[in-house]
Chains A and B, each alone.
Chain A
Amino acid sequence: MSEARKKVEGITKESTQAMIDHAMEIYPEKAKKKRAPHLAPNEGEGACVKSNRKTVPGIMSARGCAYAGAKGVVWGPIRDMVHVSHGPVGCGWYSWGTRRNMMSGINGVTQFGMQFTSDFQEKDIVYGGDKKLRTLLEEAQTLFPLAKGISVLSECPVGLIGDDINSVAKVASKELDIPIIPCNCEGFRGVSQSLGHHISNDTIRDHIIGTREFAEPESPYDIALIGDYNIGGDVWSVKPLLEEIGLNVKAVWTGDGELEKIAATHKVKLNLIHCYRSMNYMCRVMEEKYGIPWLEFNFFGPTKIRESLRKIADQFDDYIKEKVEAVIAKYDPIMQAVIDEYRPRLEGKTVMLYVGGLRPRHTVNAYGDLGMTVVGSGYEFAHGDDYERTSVEMPEATVIYDDASEHELEEFVNTLRPDLVGSGIKEKYLFQKMGIPFRQMHSWDYSGPYHAYNGFPIFARDVDMAVNSPTWNLVKSPF
Chain B
Amino acid sequence: MTAETAVKYVTETPQEDIERVKNWINSEEYKEKNFARQALVINPPHACQPLGAELAAHGFEGALPFVHGSQGCASYYRSTFNRHFREPAAAVSDAMTEDGAVFGGQNNLHEGLENAYTIYKPKMIPIFTSCMPEVIGDDLTAFIKNAKNKGIVPQDFPLPYANTPSFNGSHIHGYDSMLLSILQTLTEGKKVEGRCTGKLNLLPGFDCNTGNYREYKKILEAFGIPYTVLADISEVFDSPLDGTYKPYPGGTKLDEAADSINGKVTMTLAPFSTTKTFTWIKENYSGKHVSLPTPFGVAKTDEFVLQLSKLFGKPVPESVKAERGRAVDAMTDAHQYIHGKKFALYGDPDYLLGYVSFLLEMGAKPWHIICSKGSKKFQKECQALLDGSADGKGCTIYLSKDLWHMRSLVVTDPVDAMIGDTHGKFAARDANIPLFRFGFPIFDRVNLHRAPLVGYQGAINMLTTICNKFIEVRDETCEDKYFEMMR
Contacts and interface: CB of A to CB of B under 8 A. Distances in A.
Interface of A: 26-28, 30-31, 54-68, 84, 87-91, 93-98, 106-110, 114-122, 124-125, 132-133, 135-136, 139-140, 142-143, 145-146, 155-157, 160-161, 187-191, 193, 211-215, 258, 260-261, 263-264, 405-407, 410, 424-426, 428-435, 475-477
Given A90-B76, A94-B47, A156-B132, A433 B245 contact: yes
B292 interface: no
Given A56-B95, A60-B91, A432-B241, A114 B131 contact: no
Interface in B152-181: 165-168, 170
Most interface-central of B13, B89, B108, B136 (chain A CB within 10 A): B13
A64 B72 CA distance: 4
Contacts of B111: 30-31, 56-58
Most interface-central of A90, A117, A191 (chain B CB within 10 A): A90
Interface string B414-448: 00000000010010001000000000000100000
B17 interface: yes
Interface in B388-428: 404, 407, 423, 426
B1 interface: no
Most interface-central of A94, A124, A476 (chain B CB within 10 A): A94
Contacts of B11: 215, 260
Contacts, number: 283
Contact of A114 (B42, B73, B88, B167): B42
Contact of B70 (A98, A132, A187): A187
Most interface-central of B7, B50, B113 (chain A CB within 10 A): B7
A475 B76 contact: no
Contact of A116 (B40, B113, B167, B241): B40
Interface of B: 7-11, 13, 17-18, 21-22, 25, 30, 33-34, 37-44, 46-48, 50-51, 66, 69-73, 75-80, 82-83, 86-98, 100-101, 108-109, 111-120, 130-132, 135-136, 165-168, 170, 239, 241-246, 404, 407, 423, 426, 430, 443
Given A27-B119, A57-B108, A109 B18 contact: yes
A89 B135 contact: no
A145 B38 contact: no
Contacts of B132: 156-157, 160, 187-188
A128 to B, nearest CB: 12
12 contacts: A30-B111, A63-B71, A90-B130, A133-B39, A157-B167, A187-B132, A211-B8, A213-B10, A405-B119, A410-B245, A429-B86, A434-B243
Given A132-B39, A260-B11, A155 B131 contact: yes
Contacts of B423: 96-97
Contact of B25 (A59, A109, A213, A263): A109
Given A161-B135, A215-B9, A407-B119, 5 more contacts: A89-B166, A91-B76, A187-B131, A213-B8, A429-B87
B80 A88 contact: no
